[in-house]
């Protein structure tokens, strides 16, 4: 399906404006803080060594290395240029490690955990939401699904602690912490893959059980509006199988707003993973962001926040372009 150039151009402009505004806010907010990254670095050096000789000269060198002596407009222009190149500077907590190196190590773990959790909750939640409305659903399912949705009111960190206590501490079915086994050598082999799945099961489950209700409730509301439509009644009059009507007439037309929410949920899910990754010592972006906040590591906070925003904006952009593949009634127009 061909996408009109005008439509694609409008969406690209919207994407770039969204990322630029968000990146600008990320740059401004830390500068409203009275905390100086160079002072933080010097304080850590003093805490480790007890005393720092030539503190004033070292402080000046640190400010120079972080670019804090430049005028604000120069800092801003350099910042915009660097984020395009994914150069977020040096971490103040693990100086002189590059922020991009820290993000590169953490990003695959978060993306894997996030996409696994999001896909599971999206499909299960929407299916359960549809079954709550479908007239042919067994009565037991209609009762059990709302009862299970009580878990959606539980914060992910509490569900994680509960699962950890039951399945890791008591039953010992899963490890307490880590992204993979300490005795396993990272690589594209079956042993490493199974270790990653084994270690990531509980963190993923702790997110799934508290978020599937979001999709179920949204799908339930959309299914209520769809089930009375003329095309559903026509399909019933033709004598089509109830499951065919459910999947191809009701769910297919009701799921479109859920796909939009799927893209928007990426940023929210990463935020929800912060504490989950922390309690499971899962080496992802959430744990990296949590540690950076505790250490007042502003370059890492900026870098992680920018990557999360970029991921969310790109997801919304791609989902927007993919709408006609889900619902053929929608056609891209040059007016957007």
Q: What pLDDT is stored for residue 183 in this prediction?
A: 72
Is the preceding peptide bond at 53 cis, omega within 30 degrees of 0?
no
Q: Rounded distance, CA 267 to CA 273, Å?
A: 10
pLDDT of residue 46: 54
Query: Per-residue confidence at 68, pLDDT binned at 50, 70, 90?
Result: low
Q: What percent of the chain has pLDDT over 70?
A: 79
Q: What CATH number labels 101-326? A: 1.10.3720.10
Q: What is the pLDDT of residue 29?
A: 82
pLDDT of the residue at 238: 86
Residue range 295-313: mean pLDDT, rounded? 85
Mean pLDDT (whole number) for 130-154: 78
The region of weakest confidence among 15-19, 98-102, 327-331 is: 327-331
Average pLDDT of the chain to the nearest whole number: 78
Q: Give whole-number Cα distances, 75 to 24, 26, 71, 302, 333, in Å.
A: 12, 13, 6, 14, 40
User: How many Cα atoms occupy the beta-carbon half-sphere of 29 within 13 Å?
Assistant: 12
Give me the pLDDT at residue 334, please: 47
**Cβ-contact 129, 218 below 8 angstroms:** yes
The predicted model gives 244-259 an average pLDDT of 83
CA distance 138 to 64: 68
Separation between Cα atoms, residue 259 and residue 250, nearest integer Å: 15
Distances (CA, A) of 205 to 157, 164, 217: 11, 11, 19
148-185 per-position pLDDT tens digit? 777 777 777 788 888 888 888 888 888 888 777 777 77
Q: Answer yes or no: is pLDDT of 141 > 70.
A: yes
pLDDT at 21: 93
Instruction: Give the mean pLDDT of 292-305.
Output: 85
Q: What is the mean pLDDT of residues 132-156?
A: 77
Lowest mean pLDDT among 34-43, 156-165, 216-225: 34-43
Determine which of 50-59, 168-177, 183-192, 220-229 has the lowest per-residue pLDDT on average. Answer: 50-59
Task: Print the SS3 string covering 114-174.
Answer: HHHHHHHHHHHHHHHHHHHHCCCCCHHHHHHHHHHHHHHHCCHHHHHHHHHHHHHHHCCCC
Q: What is the pTM of this model?
A: 0.75
More confident residue, 289 or 327: 289
How far is C-alpha 219 from the chain's CA centre? 21
pLDDT at 136: 82
């Amino acid at each position: 399906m061909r996408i009109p150039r005008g439509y694609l151009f409008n969406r690209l402009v919207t994407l770039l404006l969204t990322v630029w505004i968000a990146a600008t806010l990320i740059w401004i907010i830390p500068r409203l803080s009275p905390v100086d990254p160079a002072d933080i670095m010097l304080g850590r050096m003093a805490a480790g060594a007890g005393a720092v000789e030539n503190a004033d000269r070292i402080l000046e060198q640190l400010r120079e290395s972080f670019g804090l002596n430049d005028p604000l407009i120069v800092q801003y222009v350099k910042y915009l240029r660097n984020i395009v190149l994914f150069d977020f500077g040096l971490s103040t907590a693990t100086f002189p490690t590059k922020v991009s190196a820290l993000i590169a190590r953490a990003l695959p773990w978060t993306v894997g955990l996030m996409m696994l959790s999001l896909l599971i909750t999206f499909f299960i939640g929407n299916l359960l939401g549809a079954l709550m409305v479908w007239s042919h659903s067994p009565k037991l399912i209609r009762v059990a699904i709302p009862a299970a949705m009580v878990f959606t009111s539980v914060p992910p960190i509490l569900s994680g602690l509960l699962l950890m206590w039951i399945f890791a501490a008591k039953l010992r079915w899963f490890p307490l912490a880590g992204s993979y086994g300490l005795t396993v050598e990272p690589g594209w082999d079956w042993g490493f893959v199974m270790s990653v799945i084994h270690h990531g099961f509980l963190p993923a489950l702790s997110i799934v059980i508290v978020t599937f209700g979001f999709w179920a409730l949204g799908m339930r509301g959309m299914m209520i509006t769809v089930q009375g439509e003329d095309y559903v009644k026509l399909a019933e009059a033709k004598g089509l199988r109830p499951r065919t009507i459910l999947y191809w007439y009701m769910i297919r037309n009701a799921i479109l707003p859920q796909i939009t929410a799927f893209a928007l949920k990426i940023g929210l899910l990463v935020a929800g993973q912060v504490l989950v990754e922390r309690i499971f010592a899962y080496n992802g972006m959430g744990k990296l962001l949590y540690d950076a906040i505790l250490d007042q590591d502003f370059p890492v906070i900026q870098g992680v926040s920018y990557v999360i925003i970029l991921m969310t904006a790109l997801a919304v952009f791609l989902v927007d372009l993919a709408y006609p593949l889900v619902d053929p009634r929608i056609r891209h127009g040059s007016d957007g």
